[in-house]
Amino acid sequence: MREQESDFDDASVHGLQRYVRAVAAELGVTGECSYVEPGPPASAYLAVEGHAPTFPGRDIALVWDEERGWAVAVETRAGDDLAVLSHIGGEVLPRPAAVREFVASVLRGEHPGDPRPIRLRTVGADDDLLIRLSGYPA
């Protein structure tokens, strides 16, 4: 079986890094709390300050991938893995302010989004994702 190659070039990866930094800034998160993987599928991780009331004492994070967009996840009891609580849905690259609102509602104990991993696009889709990321402002 042939391994799928990433469509993400340097410009797209740098754009994704800028996008993740913009989301982090909206959340008021600073420091080395995120990473980006070119994939496939391309993905990102962003540590979030705070805890979901339904999982007190467990760290939460935002995870992103190019097929499903953002989701809020909680550390498992073992602390090695993340369990997704909810996907923001709608689009793969929502505005950073929309991501902030989504996270804030999770931290308030609300249950926004969808727990199901709904695919919004596929890897290698003929759409404008790479162009949008490549042009993401610094």
Reduced to 3 states (helix: H, G, I; strand: E, B; else coil), residue 46 is: strand
Q: How many CB atoms lie within 10 A of CB 131?
A: 12
- Cα(55)–Cα(57) distance, integer angstroms: 6
Q: Two tokens at 96?
A: 């950073």
Q: Two tokens at 78?
A: 């073992």
> pTM for the whole thing?
0.89
Q: Which residues does the chain have with pLDDT short of 70?
A: 1-6, 78-79
In which residue are the tokens 């989701």 written? Answer: 71
Q: Two tokens at 116?
A: 């199901």
Which ranges in 1-138 belong to alpha helices (H)? Answer: 10-27, 96-107, 129-134
pLDDT in tens, 84-114: 999 998 999 999 999 999 999 999 999 888 9
